[in-house]
């Protein structure tokens, strides 16, 4: 009996060391048809689920802003930077997965049970590197996910406006804020199986709609492709692409939802490869067709003619942005649950009620900064650069700096990349590049652009980049007057009429005229 017991313990220890995490395996015995159907639709944890989650979360609303980035970068730089940042993002996602597996294996050797606990990135940093790393990781990750959720809410309001402009974008933000709050009822990433699959189908349709519609529409009359024209525009566009392939802030939560997390490895790279089949053709086609007009239209839908196909793409993107809002918010929900002591509560209703305060600041920030497009670049430069590029690379190097740690690593670097020497070389390059180019130049450019948007449109703007209202007819001349009457200027932002000459637009800081003056928003 003693030898049999020892054999079982050795097998369990082996399973833990190689990362099988046996407590996460499903028990398929005695399942009813109803429970099997529920598991099929609701309880996902396979490698396919992880792939759909990574791809669906990565593409989202940036599909609509990448043509805008191409107008800032030019065609060649736009394509090259997508490939470059796609590879960098895939590598750092791999690093995060390695650190998760290392942390999980170490904790399970200590008999720690995670069945009622979702591991998060800041906990991985805490377990491997200490509380100071935990605090830094928590601050950057939560702030990034907060603004990631804000961006999805802004995107919802921006898109629906192209179907129904009877309400301004700010009002639509109020409405979609309430709709997105329903994500508090989705327990965890296990339950995104159907949603992530549908989300990727929706963005696939939208991407190919943008491509085909732009090619059919053809180039507009007098189209110009002057990008890159200014450094501030170039680095703003570059940081938007940095943001595009920095969607792996939820990698740890997606891995924890897997039945066998050690199989994650190359999933993010494969997801990125598929995403590029959507982003490269769509961004290049829209930029080819409309050129510099995109500098004034950060949402690609704004330039395409209204058709049933476009309306279908808008609706599908709205649904997908709701899903992506849930992806970004769910880790925040977990953090809040742990803070208030309800993370292991079995009652979904209690947890949902406790999560609601997380949605309120997101809602408020989306109303303050409705700058669809420029906000992506600002978040990319200031938050994504550290959250998913610099911190994972530094954490990996410090975790395995000792010879013993490298020898006992659960997941050593791949041989094809030069093992530890190759890994350290890549990590150092990423830290230096992203710190200088992404955070440094990108931060300067994106914040310059962001402040310019505030100066032009103002905070709490009612309808960012909406078409100008039609000019009112001139007042009739008085009988004893010899000069024309001054026409009224309609200030739709404050809902009153000012009798003063309308200001004429002047060349902007960025070298193109503003078609949408703050006075009309």
The pLDDT tens digits of the residues spanning 41-96 come to 667 788 899 999 899 888 877 888 899 999 999 999 999 999 999 999 999 999 99
Name the nearest CA neighbour of 286 among 66, 55, 514. 66
Residue 479 has pLDDT above 60, yes or no: no
Residues 141, 147, 148, 154: what is their CA dihedral angle, to the nearest 10 degrees? 170
Query: In the predicted model, what is the mean pLDDT of residues 456-480?
Result: 60
**What pLDDT score was predicted for residue 458?**
62
Task: Find the helix or strand (DSSP H, E) in which 497 lies.
Answer: strand 496-498
Name the nearest CA neighbour of 111 among 194, 22, 50, 3. 22
Query: In the predicted model, what is the mean pLDDT of residues 342-356?
Result: 87
Read off the pLDDT band of 195 (50, 70, 90): confident
Q: Which residues span the domain enclosing 297?
A: 47-457
Residue 513 has pLDDT above 70, yes or no: no
CA–CA distance, 450 with 446 (Å, rounded to integer): 6
> Which of 163-177, 318-332, 423-437 shows the lowest mean pLDDT across its residues?
163-177
Residue 118 has pLDDT above 80, yes or no: yes
**What pLDDT score was predicted for residue 88?**
94
**What pLDDT score was predicted for residue 98?**
94
Read off the pLDDT band of 457 (50, 70, 90): low
309 inside domain: yes
Residue 504 class from Cβ within 10 Å (0-12 exposed, 13-18 middle, 19+ buried)? exposed
Read off the pLDDT band of 163 (50, 70, 90): confident
382 inside domain: yes
Q: How far is CA 342 from the centre of its chain?
A: 27
Per the structure, how many domains does the chain have? 1
Residues 450, 454, 460, 464: what is their CA dihedral angle, to the nearest 10 degrees? -80
Name the nearest CA neighbour of 247 among 68, 57, 88. 57
Non-local (6+) Cβ contacts of 60 within 8 A are: 152, 155, 203, 247, 320, 321, 324
The DSSP 8-state label assigned to residue 299 in this structure reads S
> Which of 82-91, 142-151, 173-182, 478-487 shows the lowest mean pLDDT across its residues?
478-487
CA–CA distance, 300 with 279 (Å, rounded to integer): 12
287 inside domain: yes
Report yes or no: 129 and 138 within 8 Å, Cβ to Cβ.
Answer: no
Average pLDDT of the residues of the chain? 80
What is the token pair recorded at 369?
Answer: 């900064």
> Which of 97-101, 240-244, 502-506 shows the lowest mean pLDDT across its residues?
502-506
Half-sphere exposure of 307 (CA within 13 A, CB side): 12
> Which of 162-176, 234-248, 331-345 shows the lowest mean pLDDT across its residues?
162-176
475 or 56, which is more confident?
56
386 or 460, which is more confident?
386
CA angle 446, 447, 450 (to 5 degrees): 85
Read off the pLDDT band of 39 (50, 70, 90): low
Task: Find the helix or strand (DSSP H, E) in which 147 lies.
Answer: helix 131-160
452 inside domain: yes
473 inside domain: no
> Which of 121-125, 454-458, 508-512 shows the lowest mean pLDDT across its residues?
508-512
The full 3-state SS of 254-282, as one line of letters, equals HHHCCCCHHHCCCHHHHHHHHHHHHHHHH
Non-local (6+) Cβ contacts of 256 within 8 A are: 100, 114, 118, 119, 189
Report yes or no: 348 and 185 within 8 Å, Cβ to Cβ.
Answer: yes
107 inside domain: yes
Percent helix / strand / coil, the chain, rounded to 5: 70, 0, 30
Read off the pLDDT band of 292 (50, 70, 90): very high
**What pLDDT score was predicted for residue 412?**
92
Give tens-digit pLDDT for 389-439. Answer: 999 999 999 999 999 999 999 989 988 888 999 999 999 999 999 999 989
467 inside domain: no
Tell me the residue ranges of DSSP E strands in 3-119: none
**What pLDDT score was predicted for residue 201?**
92
b/e string for 223-248 if b means 16 or more Cβ within 10 A? eeeebbbeebbbbbbbbbbbbbbbbb
Read off the pLDDT band of 290 (50, 70, 90): very high
> Which of 159-168, 244-253, 254-263 shows the lowest mean pLDDT across its residues?
159-168
Percent over 90 (pLDDT), the chain = 35
Residue 30 has pLDDT above 80, yes or no: no
Report yes or no: 360 and 336 within 8 Å, Cβ to Cβ.
Answer: no
Residue 148 has pLDDT above 70, yes or no: yes
Residue 27 class from Cβ within 10 Å (0-12 exposed, 13-18 middle, 19+ buried)? exposed
**Tokens 């911190």 belong to which residue?**
391
Read off the pLDDT band of 153 (50, 70, 90): confident
Read off the pLDDT band of 99 (50, 70, 90): very high
504 inside domain: no
**What pLDDT score was predicted for residue 220?**
92
**What pLDDT score was predicted for residue 166?**
77
Domain with residue 378: its CATH number is 1.20.1740.10
**What pLDDT score was predicted for residue 307?**
92
Query: In the predicted model, what is the mean pLDDT of residues 236-252?
Result: 85
**What pLDDT score was predicted for residue 228?**
86
């Amino acid at each position: 009996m003693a030898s049999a017991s020892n054999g079982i313990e050795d097998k369990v220890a082996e399973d833990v060391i190689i990362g099988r995490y046996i407590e996460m395996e499903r028990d398929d015995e005695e399942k009813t048809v109803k429970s099997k159907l529920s598991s099929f639709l609701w309880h996902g944890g396979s490698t396919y689920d992880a792939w759909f989650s990574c791809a669906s979360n990565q593409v989202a609303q940036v599909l609509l802003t990448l043509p805008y980035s191409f107008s800032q970068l030019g065609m060649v730089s736009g394509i090259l930077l997508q490939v470059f940042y796609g590879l960098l993002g895939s590598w750092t996602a791999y690093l995060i997965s390695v650190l998760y597996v290392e942390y999980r294996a170490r904790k399970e050797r200590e008999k720690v049970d995670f069945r009622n606990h979702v591991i998060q990135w800041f906990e991985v940093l805490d377990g491997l590197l200490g509380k100071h790393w935990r605090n830094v990781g928590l601050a950057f990750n939560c702030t990034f996910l907060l603004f990631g959720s804000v961006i999805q809410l802004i995107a919802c309001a921006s898109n629906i406006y192209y179907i129904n402009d009877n309400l301004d974008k700010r009002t639509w933000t109020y409405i979609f804020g309430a709709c997105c709050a329903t994500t508090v009822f989705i327990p965890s990433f296990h339950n995104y199986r159907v949603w992530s699959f549908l989300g990727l189908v929706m963005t696939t349709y939208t991407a190919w709609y943008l491509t085909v519609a732009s090619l059919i529409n053809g180039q507009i009359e007098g189209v110009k492709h002057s990008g890159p024209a200014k450094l501030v525009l170039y680095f703003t566009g570059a940081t938007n692409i940095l943001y595009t392939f920095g969607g792996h802030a939820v990698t740890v939560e997606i891995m924890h939802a897997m039945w066998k997390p050690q199989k994650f490895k190359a999933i993010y790279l494969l997801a990125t490869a598929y995403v590029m089949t959507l982003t490269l053709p769509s961004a290049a086609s829209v930029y080819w067709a409309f050129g510099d007009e995109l500098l004034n239209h950060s949402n690609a839908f704004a330039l395409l003619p209204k058709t049933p196909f476009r309306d279908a793409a808008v609706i599908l993107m709205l649904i997908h942005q709701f899903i992506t809002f849930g992806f970004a918010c769910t880790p925040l929900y977990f953090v809040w649950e742990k803070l208030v002591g309800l993370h292991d509560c079995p009652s979904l209703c209690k947890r949902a009620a406790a999560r609601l305060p997380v949605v309120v600041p997101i809602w408020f920030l989306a109303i303050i900064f409705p700058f669809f497009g420029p906000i992506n670049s600002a978040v990319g430069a200031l938050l994504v650069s550290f959250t998913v590029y610099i911190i994972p690379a530094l954490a990996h190097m410090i975790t395995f700096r000792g010879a013993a740690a490298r020898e006992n690593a659960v997941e050593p670097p791949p041989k094809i990349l030069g093992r530890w020497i190759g890994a350290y070389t890549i990590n150092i390059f990423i830290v230096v590049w992203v710190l200088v180019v992404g955070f440094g130049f990108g931060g300067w450019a994106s914040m310059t652009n962001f402040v310019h948007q505030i100066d032009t449109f103002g905070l709490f703007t009612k309808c960012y980049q909406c078409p100008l209202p039609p000019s009112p007819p001139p007042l009739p001349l008085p009988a004893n007057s010899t000069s024309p009457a001054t026409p009224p200027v309609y200030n739709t932002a404050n809902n009153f009429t000012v009798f003063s000459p309308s200001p004429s637009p002047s060349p902007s800081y960025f070298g193109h005229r503003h078609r949408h003056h703050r006075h009309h928003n």
